[in-house]
Structure 1
Amino acid sequence: MGNSFGCSASGERLVSAARDGDLVEAKMLLEFNPSLAKYSTFGGLNSPLHFASARGHNEIVALLLENGADVNSRNYCGQTSLMHACRYGHWEVVQTLLLYRSNVTRADYLSGRTALHFAAVNGHVRCIRLVVADFIPSAPFEVISAQTNSDKGSGPNSKNKYNQFALSKFVNKAADGGITALHMAALNGYFDCVQLLLDIQAKVSAVTFHYGTSMDLIGAGSTPLHYAACGGNLKCCQVLLARGASRLKLNCNGWLPLDVARIWRRQWLEPLLSPNSDLDIPTFAPSSYLSLPLLSVLNIARECGLQSSASSDESDVCAVCLERTCTVAGEGCGHALCVRCALYLCSTSNIPSEMSGPSGSIPCPLCRHGIISFAKLPCIEAKELKLHLSLGLCTSCILHHCDSDSSAIACKPDIRRNRVASVSSDMFCPVSCSPFPSVAIPLCSCNNELCSSVEPHEGETQDESPRHSQAILEEQDKMDGQRLPKTTCTNMFWSRRSCHREHQCNSEINS
């Protein structure tokens, strides 16, 4: 698809433009031949959308999608553009892909990782918030839980129960060896990610598989607390214990979390992880990265578009950007905003509204009232984003039942008839050299060279959370005295075959 000899030269030019962020070149090529948006490279089968998503070029991502690029296209490893955007923390690209209904539940071929795993392993908490947006209805968690537990009948209560079940199933999806997103966030010491995952029903008692685990040095059958003890972050261990993690859980090696901390020389964790510890565990408030109104404004943006045109009436101009027409209003306070500003507010805000709203509400920028959902203003013309029929399953169709009386999500029948179910990741062999590169474990050395799975991180692709965790780890290395010795891949992982396959795909993007 797009790899014919006639368009290969133009396709490679578009790939270079998508990698380098050359918007003018990309527009010129797509105007000449719009089918180039479906081009894929010969080696790793990466599309221009993969390159633009990995590099964070949001305007080129939107341009490719408008010209018919498949938002759910896979490369040779089965990785989608959403996975690449989450890997490098480009939350704006994640937002754009979700507006075009990217399938968040798809897993790669190598180890069954979803976009949630890629975001958690690198500490991109805003990407986690966006990825789970379609699973969290725009209503307080307390109300949803009370309705689900009190009534098991039909109607809205059963739909809320379905949403809760789908959220729990997605957040606790196990990748290679039974590793969940909570395991990897705890291992790397990303406290914000651990706290958010726990607030959205991540299981603190989840254990890795008793077979096939890729982290043999920690041990099969390990809980997130074992991984947090290996990583050495004190706050991650505290929040896990506060949410019900057990200090007495043994893994398949017969190790307690205390034993893992001693093996990895995390002496500062011993008083906390001791089975007879009498230390007071602090209480933690709900995560400030919860965003209840995100789903409502996402659905409005999918239905009406971003409405970027200016308004002639000054009374209808958004009070935040002073450019676009007001299209949404916060339920409760009633203040109107444009959909682009409301979407930006729900995606980036980490200031909890403790005075006037439940946990997860977003403070209104005009009156600070807690907003739990947005409503579309009347007389706003619907303008569905252009979707190509080859986009496959849309996220909304997967997560929610499309009832005839439901107006929250608009799913076109023709798209539903032409969708193709994704292949389950269970059909593929879950072997990998280093599916989750981590700075908390020793670097592997293959023939005295760094393993290709330990990917370099460029300065412009990192956000504040990895830098902060890196500074903490450097301080902890000074406390440890001497860096832990390196080990080889054969001691840590199953095979190097998948490592080479993933390196083949990623080397095109990282070149």
Structure 2
Amino acid sequence: MGNSLGCSASGERLISAARDGDLVEARMLLEFNPCLAKYSTFGGLNSPLHFAAAKGHNEIVSLLLESGADVNSRNYCGQTALMQACRHGHWEVVQTLLLSRCNVTRADYLTGRTALHFAAVDGHVRCIRLLVADYIPSAPYDLTNPPTEAGGDATGSPSVPRFDRTALARFVNKPADGGITALHMAALSGFSDCVQLLLDLRASVSAVTFHYGSSMNLIGAGSTPLHYAACGGSLKCCQANLLALYILISRGASRLALNCNGWLPHDVARMWGRHCLEPLLAPNSDSVIPMFPTSKYLCLPLMSILTIAREFGLQSSVTSNDSETCAVCLERGCNVAAEGCAHQLCVKCALYLVQQATSHLKWLGLQDQSHALLSNWDRCIY
């Protein structure tokens, strides 16, 4: 265990620094003893990386990884730092962990949840998009135009990056304990952005929960995401769940699906007092179901950005309009763009990615390439 890798008192000091965001203290302790990065608490087996990721202290996460922390280390219940970051919605930390090639498919020991489940349960849609960045191509390519055997897409346009649709579907639809999928969790809480993105990622709208499992299932086995959306939300505000229901039905969710208790989604809504949802869920409902566009988060260029940052860093810029927003944070205006894919980013996100790339080059002993990368970026910011 980590307690044998150095003085436990120093290890506990590092744990406190990681939890509290004390970068100066963490750097001092790791300079004195880099092995402390692999320290873990007695019993809980939580590492400093777990605490820093859960609190969103991204600089300390980077420092720990550079000092040799295991990016895939587990605590006593099998949770990784990635799961902790996704649970609390710290997408910058998720990005850092992905740049260090963490394992996104691991499930915890207690509930069988992956990082995708942890992100979906609280509606952290940016974390979801990051988790699938290595599975799907980025904008302008989408899932509606599959590549043909000849290398081009279905419309005859030039060849696009290939991706494994089977692996993506397997990951997105992986059931946790009791058969709960990420889509069930997002639908239960009415996170319409998450529901929309998961469906765009080919989440199964007809996935059902199991007859077995240790998780309590008050709705009953055989329930679909529509059943979960029907009982979710709160009595005070059903608006979020109403939008999630519209999205699910527009993507093929059946109002006539019976679970193992013989309940329709309409029955679930009535029993749980979600009366504002009943008219839409009625088997003979004549409600007009609008068509929804693909999720705006699907177009984030995370696959190309992560690939470039892992291998080369971002290298050039193009002029962008002030009205456009950064493709990563969706908040700040664009200032720079990546070479090749031309995805536009704000200075903060771009410099962060470059900093990650240069730190990896330095760690590999490639100082010349690191200096060249930084000098290229000196000409990119305007």
Opposite residue 49 of structure 2, the aligned amino acid is L
- The answer for unaligned runs of 5 or more in structure 2 is 234-240, 345-353, 365-382
CA distance in 1, matches of 2:211, 2:257: 14
Task: Name the aligned partner's letter for residue 105 of structure 2.
Answer: T
Distance 1:77-1:149 versus aligned 2 partners, 3 A rule? farther
What's the CA shift for 1:387?
11
Please list, as runs of the form range in 1=range in 2, the aligned pairs for 1:285-300 lying within 5 A after superposition: 285-300=293-308
Question: Counterpart in 1 of 2:326?
Answer: 345
Amino acid of the residue matched to residue 73 of structure 1? S
Q: How does 1:77-96 map to 2 (within 5 A)?
A: 77-96=77-96
Q: Does the C-alpha gap of structure 1 residues 284 and 13 become closer, same or farther in structure 2, counting only changes over 3 Å?
A: same
Q: What's 1:278 paired with?
A: 286
Q: Match of 2:220, as an amino acid?
A: G
Tell me, in whole angstroms, the C-alpha distance in 1 between the residues paired with 2:152 and 2:63: 46
Amino acid at match of 1:15: I
- Alignment correspondent of 2:101: 101
Q: How many residues align?
A: 336
Against the structure 1 CA distance between its residues 384 and 48, is the aligned structure 2 distance closer, same or farther, given a 3 Å change threshold?
A: closer
Structure 1 alignment gaps of length 5 or more: 306-325, 337-343, 352-363, 390-511
Helix, strand or coil for the counterpart of 2:3?
Answer: coil
- Distance apart, 1:151 and its partner CA: 9.1
Alpha-carbon contact 2:53-2:61 (below 8 Å) kept: yes
Contact 2:300–2:328 at 8 Å: present in 1 too? no
How many angstroms apart in 2 are the aligned matches of 1:128 and 1:185? 11
CA distance in 2, matches of 1:102, 1:387: 20
Q: Is the 8 A contact 1:119 1:125 kept in 2?
A: yes
Percent identity of equivalent pairs = 68
Alpha-carbon spacing, 1:261–1:387, altered in 2? closer, same or farther (3 Å): farther
Equivalent position of 1:191 in the other structure: 192
**Pair 281,5 (structure 1): closer, same or farther in 2 beyond 3 Å:** closer
Matched, 1:223 2:224: yes
> How far off is 1:112 after superposition?
1.0
1:291 CA displacement: 2.8
Q: Read off the aligned partner of 2:208 and give its amino acid letter.
A: V
Q: Choose from 302, 325, 334 the match for 1:365.
A: 334
What displacement does 1:147 show?
2.4
Q: Pick the aligned partner of 1:327 from 310, 315, 318.
A: 315
Q: Is the 8 A contact 1:126 1:289 kept in 2?
A: yes
CA contact (8 A) 2:226 2:265 kept: yes
Match of 2:251 among 240, 243, 256: 243
Residues 1:145 and 1:350: Cα distance change in structure 2 (over 3 Å): farther
SS at match of 1:96: helix
**Paired AA for residue 360 in structure 2:** L
The one-character-per-residue Cα deviations of 1:214-259 (angstroms, maximum 9, x if unpaired) are 2431110000000000114111111000000000000000000000
Structure 2: which amino acid aligns with 1:117? H
Distance 1:135 1:373, change over 3 A: farther
Deviation at 1:211, TM superposition (A): 2.2
Partner of 1:29: 29
Q: Which amino acid aligns with 2:227?
A: H
Match of 2:177 in 1: 176
The runs of at least 4 consecutive aligned structure 1 residues that moved more than 6 Å come to: 148-152, 156-159, 386-389
Give me the TM-score of the superposition, normalised by structure 1: 0.61
Residue 145 of structure 1 corresponds to 146
- Counterpart Cα distance in 2 of 1:30 and 1:142: 44
Q: Give the deviation of 1:137 after TM superposition.
A: 1.6
Which structure is richer in relative contact order (CA contacts within 8 A, separation 6 or more)? 1
C-alpha distance in 2 between matches for 1:170 and 1:262: 33
Match of 1:16 in 2: 16
Q: 1: CA distance between counterparts of 2:298 and 2:123?
A: 15
Aligned to 1:385: 360
Change (3 A) 1:303 1:335: farther
Post-superposition offset of 1:129: 1.1
**How many angstroms apart in 2 are the aligned matches of 1:384 and 1:296?**
19
Flag the 1:28–1:150 CA change in 2: closer, same or farther, 3 A.
closer
* Other-structure match for 1:303: 311
Q: Is the 8 A contact 1:230 1:264 kept in 2?
A: yes
> Aligned partner of 1:133: which letter?
A
CA contact (8 A) 1:83 1:118 kept: yes
CA RMSD across the alignment: 3.2
- Deviation, 1:365, is 3.0
Equivalent position SS for 1:141 = coil
The AA in structure 1 aligned to 2:293 is A
